[in-house]
Amino acid sequence: MTDLTRLSAVETRQAIASGAASAVEVAQAHLDRIAAVDDRVHAFLHVDAEGALAQARRVDTGEVTGPLAGVPLALKDVICQEGIPTTVGSKILEGWRPPYDATLTTRLKGAGVVILGKTNMDEFAMGSSTEHSAYGPTHNPWDLTRIPGGSGGGSSAALASYQAPLAIGTDTGGSIRQPASVTGTVGVKPTYGGVSRYGLVAFSSSLDQAGPCARNVLDAALLHEVIAGYDPKDSTSIDAPVPPVVEAARSGDVKGLRIGVVKELQGDGYEPGVTARFNEAVEVLRGLGATVTEVSCPHFGYALPAYYLIAPSEASSNLARFDAVRYGLRVGDDGVRSLEEVMALTRAQGFGPEVKRRIILGTYALSSGYYDAYYGQAQKVRTLISGDFRKAWDSVDVLVAPTCPTVAFPLGAKLEDPLAMYKQDICSIPANLYGGPAASFPAGLSEGLPVGLQVMAPTLREDLLYLVGAALEQALPASVPTLDWE
């Protein structure tokens, strides 16, 4: 019998619709797969077998239908799901069960998607390797000694190890795209406001954006269509039609498309293999009829320092709510200590070192006398970067660059050097500061490890991302992990 875990989302739905397999059989196959391999990958923090099988039964009885009905999905543990532990990779929320669903979760359930469980992540989405999780690191299925990217490494590793055909990630500075790049999967950051943030535990409110992750372009587009769209519960949600992403993913016709290669996102610091695969992928697109030119975005070089002032500043404000009073961890409440002492003890024990580092940095940047010099200046740089994007759209339809400068690095290699870790996001951060959509698509292998090509587009033009991704997917040989460790 066909291994149900190796099917794409589209193939899985076809198998269910044709009667070749039931949704319950599909769900159970993936639950069995998780049981067999996740002790080595550690993609999941919580597996909801009971809930997954119950949702699958709803599909089998015809109660729920749709293009993804019965297809399993791994949900990043920053998205609320009613009654299911949601930790955000942190001890401070260990055991917390939200009393409500995020809008995104509601839409998944309404589409008949089977949520298998919650995936591992860097604590509060702060990291590029999933090593900052309070519950231990996730391992890259291509090489278990290497990182799966971050902060959404659990979602990308679940895809690459065939524990789920679909996943949800969130992207504040590259946390969907960078894991996709180093695991050979597809990851899309929609336009800011394109997918509701209601029920997404906030890190940096002006940057956070949830998006689809999959093993191929069409699967990602179908998931994108399910989760996107206006939500009155989110004040930043865009009241506009969802772009024709599925149509674009089925097309892949890039003839006449104007592609701009970002001059500033190449050169020193980029591994030769990454540069080689990127250049080859660009030539493939040129061969398919796209026009390719080099585009200068002079302020992109300032994106990294601007981001690491804006994001920690917003984090220091957002994370103030974890005060040992309303929910989550509470340490030292012996009836003698004051509320302030309990709060200090709880935050000291509940937050990990990377979260503390960013809270301190953000609090300093927002403090009296420094606000204008740091946070205010960073926002001005953000405006300049947005201007670079807008100017680029006068001459090109999309911008391309490597997704990140290296392939997956060994676990522990950058843990003691925060700046080296931060530099992994050098290519992905500009799109977050601008707010436009961006995606990572597989572009081949370097030294046996995946390389991603990043595509960036104007706001609400996600269809252009999927167009390029589909063209690459059709032209490049598929790269799948050997999984020699099985």
CB atoms within 10 A of CB 339: 11
Does residue 451 register a pLDDT over 80?
yes
Does residue 51 register a pLDDT over 80?
yes
CB contact at 8 A, 164 and 73: yes
Domain boundaries, the chain: 4-260+396-475
Q: What is the model's pLDDT at position 368?
A: 85
- Which of helix, strand or coil describes residue 192? coil
- Which of helix, strand or coil describes residue 169? strand
Q: What is the model's pLDDT at position 326?
A: 81
- As a whole number, mean pLDDT of residues 451-475 equals 98
Q: What is the dihedral of CA 283, 287, 289, 290, to 10 degrees?
A: 0
The amino acid that residue 326 corresponds to is R
Catalytic residue among 76, 109, 118, 414: 76
CB contact at 8 A, 225 and 194: no
Does residue 482 register a pLDDT over 80?
no
| Sheet of 166-170, strands arranged across | 44-47, 114-119, 72-76, 166-170, 210-214, 186-189, 438-446, 449-456, 398-402, 258-262, 291-295
Please return the burial class of 269, using the count of CB atoms within 10 Å of its CB with bins 0-12, 13-18 and 19+.
exposed
Q: Which two tokens stand for residue 335?
A: 């009836």
CA distance 151 to 120: 9
Residue 118: active-site member: no
Catalytic residue among 161, 175, 204, 313: 175
> What is the rounded average pLDDT for all residues in the chain?
96
> Which CATH architecture does the domain made up of 4-260+396-475 adopt?
Alpha-Beta Complex (3.90)
Q: What is the model's pLDDT at position 25?
A: 98
pLDDT above 70: percentage of residues in the chain: 100
Q: Model confidence over 202-245: pLDDT tens digits?
A: 999 999 999 999 999 999 999 999 999 999 999 999 999 999 99
CA distance 52 to 41: 20
Catalytic residue among 151, 155, 204, 440: 151
pLDDT above 90: percentage of residues in the chain: 91
Q: Model confidence over 390-435: pLDDT tens digits?
A: 999 999 999 999 999 999 999 999 999 998 999 999 999 999 999 9
**pLDDT band at residue 325 using 50, 70 and 90 as cut-offs:** confident
Q: What is the model's pLDDT at position 270?
A: 96
CB contact at 8 A, 277 and 451: yes
Q: Model confidence over 350-383: pLDDT tens digits?
A: 999 999 999 999 999 999 888 989 999 999 999 9
Does residue 67 register a pLDDT over 70?
yes
